[in-house]
Structure 1
Amino acid sequence: MTRLKDSVAVVTGGGRGIGREIALQQAREGATVAVLARTANEIEQTVSLIQSEGGRAIAVTTDVTEYSAVESAFARIVSELGPADMLVNNHGSFQAFGPIWECDPVTWWRDVEINLQGTFHTCRAACPAMLARGSGRIVNLVGGGTGNSFPHGSGYASSKAAIMRLTECLNDTTIAHGVRAFAVDPGLVRTEMTEKQLFSEAGKTYLPGIQQLFDDGVNIAPSRAALLIADIAAGRFDVLAGRLLRGVDDRDVLEKEMDALAKADGRALRFSAIGQQKL
């Protein structure tokens, strides 16, 4: 498939797990991919996998919590590949487990910094060039706690709910200029992050429900989110800009229902109301 031919995709957190699968799928669809993360050898492995399949990619080591580093990363991307047509914010941290009064304050805030501030930084860096060209798409990954309480994952949940609202604010600001933002929840995927939830003492104590979900067979393939995000990059779900799409969605059904969802203001972060679809 070459739906994304001649486009440039930037994928953060692309060194492993969901991010690697997203980067691979973008390349399979024809995009040239910039793979970003803090760990050089992991993103270099992703680039090697893309190249082994005949794709084009570069590895860019970046700490998304440092805006100057993000600016430098995007300057390099523009210089070597051209401006980004697609930005996927997949980076994430979930290290603080437990009730608020037992969480280490530094660890709790670090989750928020990486998840929320990192997403703000990359969006800020990518948007000017997209707006100047009058086109571009941004996907911000959300997850557990976005639309519901997550008592023992409060830092992660707070950051993800904030990313959902940031996505809505960004989209409302840019859509008139041809730039669209989307939120994507990949679902429960077996990753290094979930491994820590399963096997750390804090995870076993405060998040036992994660193990139960896996025991019940809930384990979403990362390819589900990757294929959905490729569809978003190709414009298939532009009607749902500013809203939440999910890795578990049947994409054909979602396409049939998207006009109705948009009209009903569904898949959005709103106060509960009669007849309103909740996240």
Structure 2
Amino acid sequence: MADLGGTISVVTGGGRGIGREIALHQARAGAKIAVLARTKSEIDETAAMITAEGGTARAYPVDLVNRTAVEAVFAKIGADLGPVDLLVNNHGAFRAFGPIWECDPDIWWQDVEINLRGVFHTCRTAAPDMLSRGSGRIVNLVGGGTGTSFPHGSGYASSKAGIMRFTESLNDTTANGGVRAFAVDPGLVRTSMTELQLNTEAGQTYLPDVKQLFDDNINVPPSNAAVLIADIARGRFDRLAGRMLRGADDRDALERAMDDIVDSDSRALRITGVD
């Protein structure tokens, strides 16, 4: 069903895992896809998979921490494919496991910088053009530690909580101009990131719950997030802009609950009980 025809979509971290699934799903619905990541071979493969199915995709290797590189890539996407309608920030890093005094401080900071600064750079670059056209949607992926403590994943958690608040702030800045921002938690998906947690000494020591969850068959398919984000692109959940949606959500139930979610001001970062 080609109901995203005419949509130009940017998917970061699109070379594998959840990002590849997001890119493939949107392309099958008719969107033209710009696939971004640092590893050229992986995004080339995603783009080739899309074109083999008759879709349109181009691969753009980029370091999202590099602001000028991001600006240059978005300019090239605009020239190659057209103005961006949908930005999906799926990229992420999580390599610092353990109490903060056990973590390599440079790796801890790299997790934060890649996750949060990368999102800032892409949104800062894409939003003004969207606002000039009066339309656009931005989806930022969050995850473990966004709304709860994550003692042995403090860098990742801090970055994801930061992305959540950034998404709320961005949406409150741009919604009146027709540009809406959403946070999406894909759930626990078996990816190269979780494999690192499963197969390294630090991961096994400090994050043993991950293995237990997979042993208990808690493994959300990446297609859940892909389908949800496609519905966001269609405008189905515009009323929930600035809030967090989850890959595990029943989308029909979520749609029915939208008024209650907004009225109760849930699916957002809030401190209660403080005057």
Q: Do both share a fold (TM > 0.5)?
A: yes
Q: State the partner residue of 1:166.
A: 166
Measure, in 1, the Cα distance between the counterparts of 2:44 and 2:250: 32
Gaps of 5+ in 2: none
| Cα shift readout 1:148-168 (whole Å, capped 9, x = no counterpart) | 000000000000000000000
Matches within 5 A, 1:115-264: 115-264=115-264
| Cα shift readout 1:172-221 (whole Å, capped 9, x = no counterpart) | 00000000000000000000000000010000000000000001110000
Structure 2 letter corresponding to 1:118: G
Measure, in 1, the Cα distance between the counterparts of 2:258 and 2:13: 29
Structure 2 letter corresponding to 1:260: D
Measure, in 2, the Cα distance between the counterparts of 1:44 and 1:101: 39
Structure 2 letter corresponding to 1:216: D
SS in 2 for 1:100: coil
Q: State the partner residue of 1:113.
A: 113
Q: State the partner residue of 1:80.
A: 80
| Cα shift readout 1:1-28 (whole Å, capped 9, x = no counterpart) | 1221111000000000000000001111
Q: State the partner residue of 2:19.
A: 19
Structure 2 letter corresponding to 1:183: A
Measure, in 2, the Cα distance between the counterparts of 1:273 and 1:13: 38
Gaps of 5+ in 1: 275-279
Measure, in 1, the Cα distance between the counterparts of 2:202 and 2:5: 45
Measure, in 1, the Cα distance between the counterparts of 2:193 and 2:273: 34
Structure 2 letter corresponding to 1:177: G
Measure, in 2, the Cα distance between the counterparts of 1:144 and 1:157: 6
Structure 2 letter corresponding to 1:64: L
Answer yes or no: is 1:7 the counterpart of 2:7: yes
Percent of residue pairs bearing the same amino acid type: 68
Kindly state the Cα deviation for residue 273 of structure 1 after the two structures are TM-superposed. 4.8
Q: State the partner residue of 2:40.
A: 40
Measure, in 2, the Cα distance between the counterparts of 1:70 and 1:83: 15
For this pair of structures, how many residues does the alignment match?
A: 274
Kindly state the Cα deviation for residue 272 of structure 1 after the two structures are TM-superposed. 3.3
Q: State the partner residue of 2:101.
A: 101
Measure, in 2, the Cα distance between the counterparts of 1:45 and 1:103: 33
Which contiguous aligned blocks of 4+ residues in structure 1 show a shift greater than 2 angstroms? none
Kindly state the Cα deviation for residue 113 of structure 1 after the two structures are TM-superposed. 0.4
Kindly state the Cα deviation for residue 250 of structure 1 after the two structures are TM-superposed. 0.4
